[in-house]
Structure 1
Amino acid sequence: MNMNPLSISSVKVASADSQPLTLREGQMIHGKVQQLFPGQMAQVQVGNQQLYAKLEVPMQAGDTYYFKVNGTEPEIQLQVIAGPMRGSEGLTGQLAQLTESLNLPKTAEMKELLAAVIKQKFPMTKENLLDAANLLKNVPDGMKEQALATLGKMANMRLPFTPAVFQSLMQAQTGTITQSLTSLQSALQTEQNLAPAIREQILNALQALANPASQSVGKELLGQTITQLLNPQTSKGDRFAALQLLKTAGILPAQTSLANLPQAVAQLMTQSSDAKAPAPQQPQIATNQAAGSLVASGKVNGSVRVQVDGTAPSTSSSAATQTDQRVNMDSQAATLKAVQALLSKLSQTPAAEQQTAKTIIQNLAQQINTNPILPESAKVALQTVINQISQQPVMNDSVKAAFIEQFSQTFLQQVSGLSSVNSVAPRDVQQALMALVSIPPDQADETLRMLIQNAERSGNTQLKQLVQTAEMQVSQAMNGPVMKEAIQSVLSTLGFNYEALLNGKEPNLANLANTLKPQLLTLLQDPSLSPPLREAAETMVLRMNGTIIQTAETSVQQQLIMQVPLELFGKKIDATLQWNGRMKENGQIDPAFARILFYLELEALSTTLVDMHVQNKVVNLTIFNEQESLRTTGLTFQTMLKDGLEQVGYKLSGVSFKPFTETPQSVKKPVGSLYTDEGGVDYRI
């Protein structure tokens, strides 16, 4: 065996990919001599990249070799460890060469591993080979092919060859995440040695996963419940039931009654803005640009903070004129919050400040009349209330209090009633409504979940009907925002990024503790768990870890993989998403270029693969599915897709439909075979 070194004194990379070839000392790589040049120079192809190297041993163009990286500084030093390898030698000869040259054990596992290395050409060191062979020992025969593919992924991603990483990646490719969750739920329900409180907590998380659109349904239900409560045409019994529902969900104070409802609503409408009002004698004068920045920076989880800039109340007429004129209007929802902010400021204005109060009311009328959300009927109702107080010669405390109560109740009723019978209220209206009734963003999920549960358990048939109506409206209006909210809800409930959030700034420990992953990690510390439950919990944790491990980032490329179980109104979807994109020079994701794969298991359409290319904001879709009717059905939505993409700055190039059987190789699940160093997507169909 020729073990002489191959010195690369000067390296030039010729590749369509601008990334330099990354080699590690001790790594074994496969290379092919493409072309010989004078002066003992040769073009050697390694993967999809080409090196120009100076040879110190004779080689022949067309031959392939295995090299060991002996060094990378100050120049790359490669040592021939096996070769030349020609097709005539066959796999057996190549296996013998590698085994002998690397002094590897001649076990069945090592033979299988080396055969995979030769076939797939993934980079390995001798230590990697030894560790990988040990990992293969405990793998059942029926899973060897999958295990070898996993080891190849670990090599390509430069992951440590440890049992934890190996098992996590294996679980991420075994079955579906829905099957893992079903097994976990079944094991929990039959476990004898589990405290009832722990069982209920984990089952609650699983129930939340089964209703990922509950937040959208809850927002619709919130609007309908408030509308029922504030509608004078509704029966007293139904209004009382709506009141009790809002109280048990913590949205209205416990002491609220139908008798003191106007006062409670007025307090609710003004209290959230009070805390944000500027302190006296601290004027906050800002330019329009700065005001816009305040609104932009105030967006947290979909809510919008609105700040009213101006001087503190003063006896000066000019100062009063400036009060509350600077209201941020960067979004439609912000204008609704601006009304609340003005109402709050009016409640704080002393009775002696008549001109200031009148200015605030004038601004209220202007906000209502220019509001793009409110329909004309709502503007008329609110303007009527404003006209009544404008006719008062003196605005004393009792007159002002009565106006705030009446205006607050009318305003809240009109906003909550923006959801029509056949459609879902706009997302910004829903967010504004939640802000108006002082539901903090970090408590929204729990509050809305409690609202739905209490309505379903209520003995009032009207409340149950409201839940059904809300579910029907959300299911019929299933769109991008609703789906996005559902996916975010699932990922949050699973606790995929639990460790990252725990390590972040001021983590919300209470919310994190309610997610599934930390609950399972705590559960696994219990030595009394039965083997079935321990196995189900470990499988679920490993699956979540495997998904995270496959997310990779380099200086210019980024890969993100997610497995999401979705159950929407009785329809189950197992979705695996892989996103590959590149980073801009400032470290941000470049939205103009991406490759996205959606691997879907659908009840009606079965296995479906959507391959989405984004090149300079031009989108091309290829959809793989065995049902021929999908082409006809899918094309009817093409105009809608085109319009939707154009609204967000993208152009649709085309949509094509293909069967999986178009080429002889079978489809591979994205999480099992899609990683490449170059950031591309290497799937087989």
Structure 2
Amino acid sequence: MLVNRFSNQAMHNTGLDRVQLRAGQIIQGKVLNLYPGQHATIQVGSQKWQAQLKAPLAKGGHYHFKVEQAGSPFILKVVGQALGKQPIQNIHALLDQLGFASSKQRTDFLADVIKSQIPFGKEQLAQAFGLLEAAGYRKEAQVAVKTMMADRLPFIDNILAAVQTKNTSTLSQEFQTLTQHLRQQRTQGTMGMLLNRMQWLMDARNPSPSEVIRQIIDGVSQNNPDFFQLLKTSGTIDPTLDFDTWKNEWSQFMKVHNWNQSTVNLLLNRTRLPFAINPEEMAASIKQLRENTIPQSVQDVIRSWEGVVKNVISQNTRLPNETFEELQQNLQQASTQLSLPQQNRLNSLLSNQPEGLQALQAYLEALVHQQKMISSPNLTIQERFLAHIDTTLSHIGLAHESLLARDTQEIEASIKSLLIQLVQQQDQTMSERAQPLLNLINGLQIDSVRETSFLVQAALQLPGEKIGLHEDILLEFNGRKRKNGTIDPSDCSILFHLNLAHLNETVIDMHIQKRTVALTIWNEQSVHPDLAESFKPALKAGLESLDYHLTHINFKQITDRSDRRPETGSSAQTFPETTYEGVDLRI
């Protein structure tokens, strides 16, 4: 994937890939210069250290060093002799010095670790060999173990499974696999809740409960009754309820509880909502409405009776019996083209009493306007994207352990908490089906944040179908760390990895420095510069509204695909030199 290369390049540019040495670790380096008192400048990759040596060495020589002291000064001890010109022989000698028996698998793996400039200790290497031998030295296991060594992760089976699954799968793939299995089961209780939550994150027609609340808040704030009418059509609120009453009740509730778009997920599971609404029921009903549009013939029947019913309501009287029977017959015939919940709702409202006719008229009006409301949701594209990020973060359970430590109620509804319940059940088949997704979520948690004293890298994966993409979207944020631990938004870079309908795999590198923005778009297809110019005015205006300033947009074509890899990237991977329109970029 293209994102592998750019992810590693972003880490290099920000300094997040710099080797952090610790006592007991082993590195391979070159002696650049020698100074009196057995001091020297040692180079490891692109980094240089001033170090004190435990024995005299030759300038220009390559050695394996063991870190005796990491600090000022670095104290290094040579392991074995100066390295020869045969790399494999050097690895055999190192394994012998460390007390390990040599094998082709061990030699090849350790050579790859050293080539990737990953420091390691003897105990760490022994644990890595143990995991790899149990895994049969599979390629995906080696990539995962290298990541574990580079990030100093615990060498346990659960971590290996998490990193390996994260490197080889996506949320959408695991959601789809588990969803297919759950649909074949009696999806009640934990399984039913898990199925609903995965569908909320995948299906664009299926809003999550938090998205329902967001659209309610948005409609109330903008005095827009469209979504309110859609809820009436779904049968989840009283069809006789008027918008003013709805708006006033919600406005008061939002004021008392300090509700807004950013606090939806935090308060959703803790607060009794106005009119005792059930957001989960609303989300399911809206999905069903969107799957069952109102046929034109049904709309024509409703409109043909609209004036008659309104006239009777205005006089607060009943229809003549023959007229009511004709209305009833027409609506029941038309309702056969509606969904079952819509049929049931319509039949329940067929009453020839003034209050019953009023409720019937309200529901019929809502049905007529349903298609318009479905195709014109309240939220803008930008709001939908931000809502999708917020919903994904809260529903997946990336903060599961943190919430568990605080003993909050929010963990009960997360996908991770439901998966843990399924894995712990006695049903071995269900446990095996749920484990891969749980491994992936654990892997995403492990990879979510990397940081040093001054720099931060954050990674996020989102299901793509919800926002109209064929595959998941990957986001990476790199930047300087502020005092509160967050990324400085005026000096950072954001990497978007997308799979678009026409451009296919695309990487967008957005570099921000002193609130000026430069965009580079990488793709395997040649993109004409005029395309960038057509989008530039709108993009420039949008950024300026946020006090950012666009400097340029560059399109770059990937011209060499010979080194593409199937794994999702990790900081431990290295790639051969690749050419991009004549520019050599070594990652």
TM-score greater than 0.5 by the shorter chain: yes
1:184-237 residue CA offsets vs partner (Å, 9 max, x unmatched): 11222234xx66333322221122112368366776689889999989xxxxxx
Q: Is residue 499 of structure 2 the alignment partner of residue 597 of structure 1?
A: no
Q: Which residue of 1 aligns with 2:536?
A: 638
1:592-620 residue CA offsets vs partner (Å, 9 max, x unmatched): 12122222233433221222222222222
Give the whole-Å Cα distance in 2 for the aligned partners of 1:582 and 1:243.
45
Q: Cα 1:242–1:479, aligned 2, differ >3 Å: closer, same or farther?
A: closer
Contact 1:565 1:572 in 2 (8 A): no
1:102, distance to aligned residue in structure 2 (A): 0.8
1:630-649 residue CA offsets vs partner (Å, 9 max, x unmatched): 75544421222222122212
Residues 623-662 of structure 1 correspond to what in structure 2 (within 5 A)? Answer: 623-629=521-527, 632-662=530-560
Give the whole-Å Cα distance in 1 for the aligned partners of 2:16 and 2:243.
67
SS of 1:593's partner is strand
Contact 1:212 1:490 in 2 (8 A): no
Aligned partner of 2:434 among 537, 550, 553: 537
Give the whole-Å Cα distance in 2 for the aligned partners of 1:494 and 1:221.
23
Residues 318-397 of structure 1 correspond to what in structure 2 (within 5 A)? Answer: none
Aligned partner of 1:490 among 367, 389, 392: 392
Output the amino acid matched with 1:49: Q
1:32-53 residue CA offsets vs partner (Å, 9 max, x unmatched): 1112345543211234332223
Give the whole-Å Cα distance in 2 for the aligned partners of 1:570 and 1:74.
53
Aligned partner of 1:575 among 459, 466, 473: 473
Q: Cα 1:569–1:98, aligned 2, differ >3 Å: closer, same or farther?
A: closer
Q: Which residue of 1 aligns with 2:286?
A: 452
Between 205-214 and 620-629, the greater mean CA deviation after superposition: 205-214
Unaligned 5+ segments in structure 1 are: 1-14, 232-238, 277-297, 305-433, 677-682
Give the whole-Å Cα distance in 2 for the aligned partners of 1:128 and 1:174.
24
Give the whole-Å Cα distance in 1 for the aligned partners of 2:250 and 2:39.
79
Q: Is residue 132 of structure 2 the alignment partner of residue 136 of structure 1?
A: yes
Give the whole-Å Cα distance in 2 for the aligned partners of 1:95 and 1:630.
49
Q: Which residue of 1 aligns with 2:444?
A: 547
1:81-105 residue CA offsets vs partner (Å, 9 max, x unmatched): 144224xx22221112211111112
Output the amino acid matched with 2:159: V
Give the whole-Å Cα distance in 2 for the aligned partners of 1:592 and 1:528.
51
Contact 2:19 2:119 in 1 (8 A): no
Q: Is residue 180 of structure 2 the alignment partner of residue 186 of structure 1?
A: yes
Give the whole-Å Cα distance in 1 for the aligned partners of 2:114 and 2:254.
67
1:152, distance to aligned residue in structure 2 (A): 2.2
Residues 83-162 of structure 1 correspond to what in structure 2 (within 5 A)? Answer: 83-86=81-84, 89-139=85-135, 143-144=138-139, 146-162=140-156
Contact 1:599 1:607 in 2 (8 A): yes
1:275, distance to aligned residue in structure 2 (A): 5.8
Aligned partner of 1:521 among 420, 430, 451: 420
Contact 2:509 2:521 in 1 (8 A): yes
Contact 1:113 1:129 in 2 (8 A): no
Between 47-56 and 533-542, the greater mean CA deviation after superposition: 47-56
Contact 2:50 2:73 in 1 (8 A): no
Give the whole-Å Cα distance in 1 for the aligned partners of 2:16 and 2:197.
45
What is the RMSD of the two structures over their aligned residues, measured on CA atoms? 4.2
Output the amino acid matched with 2:420: L
Q: Cα 1:18–1:671, aligned 2, differ >3 Å: closer, same or farther?
A: closer
Give the whole-Å Cα distance in 2 for the aligned partners of 1:646 and 1:189.
48
Give the whole-Å Cα distance in 1 for the aligned partners of 2:90 and 2:146.
19
Identify the structure with bigger relative contact order (alpha carbons < 8 Å, sequence gap 6+). 2
Q: Which residue of 2 aligns with 1:472?
A: 375
Q: Which residue of 1 aligns with 2:159?
A: 165
Output the amino acid matched with 2:442: N
TM-score by length of 1: 0.61
Q: Provide the identity percentage.
A: 27
Q: Which residue of 2 aligns with 1:249?
A: 236
SS of 2:547's partner is coil
Query: Which structure is larger by alpha-carbon Rg, 1 or 2?
Result: 1
Q: Is residue 185 of structure 2 the alignment partner of residue 198 of structure 1?
A: no
Contact 2:475 2:494 in 1 (8 A): yes
Contact 1:217 1:471 in 2 (8 A): no
1:572, distance to aligned residue in structure 2 (A): 3.0
Contact 2:498 2:506 in 1 (8 A): yes
Q: Which residue of 1 aligns with 2:47?
A: 49
Contact 1:225 1:242 in 2 (8 A): no
SS of 2:110's partner is helix
Output the amino acid matched with 1:249: T
Give the whole-Å Cα distance in 2 for the aligned partners of 1:529 and 1:82.
50
Give the whole-Å Cα distance in 1 for the aligned partners of 2:572 and 2:547.
28
Output the amino acid matched with 2:519: L
Q: Cα 1:183–1:603, aligned 2, differ >3 Å: closer, same or farther?
A: farther
How many pairs were matched up?
484
Q: Cα 1:21–1:221, aligned 2, differ >3 Å: closer, same or farther?
A: closer
1:27, distance to aligned residue in structure 2 (A): 0.9
Q: Cα 1:445–1:601, aligned 2, differ >3 Å: closer, same or farther?
A: farther
SS of 2:444's partner is helix
Q: Cα 1:43–1:644, aligned 2, differ >3 Å: closer, same or farther?
A: same
Give the whole-Å Cα distance in 2 for the aligned partners of 1:461 and 1:227.
25
SS of 1:598's partner is strand
SS of 1:480's partner is helix
Q: Is residue 221 of structure 2 the alignment partner of residue 210 of structure 1?
A: no
Aligned partner of 1:268 among 246, 249, 269: 249
Contact 2:423 2:432 in 1 (8 A): no
Q: Is residue 411 of structure 2 the alignment partner of residue 512 of structure 1?
A: yes
Q: Cα 1:65–1:471, aligned 2, differ >3 Å: closer, same or farther?
A: farther
Between 621-630 and 636-645, the greater mean CA deviation after superposition: 621-630
Q: Which residue of 1 aligns with 2:59?
A: 61
Contact 2:457 2:479 in 1 (8 A): yes
SS of 1:673's partner is coil
Aligned partner of 1:26 among 24, 27, 46: 24
Q: Cα 1:451–1:60, aligned 2, differ >3 Å: closer, same or farther?
A: same
Contact 2:480 2:488 in 1 (8 A): yes
Contact 2:19 2:118 in 1 (8 A): no
Q: Cα 1:98–1:569, aligned 2, differ >3 Å: closer, same or farther?
A: closer
SS of 2:51's partner is strand
Output the amino acid matched with 2:436: T
Give the whole-Å Cα distance in 2 for the aligned partners of 1:40 and 1:137.
41
Give the whole-Å Cα distance in 1 for the aligned partners of 2:505 and 2:287.
34
TM-score by length of 2: 0.71
Give the whole-Å Cα distance in 2 for the aligned partners of 1:91 and 1:158.
25
Output the amino acid matched with 1:609: V
Q: Cα 1:552–1:466, aligned 2, differ >3 Å: closer, same or farther?
A: farther
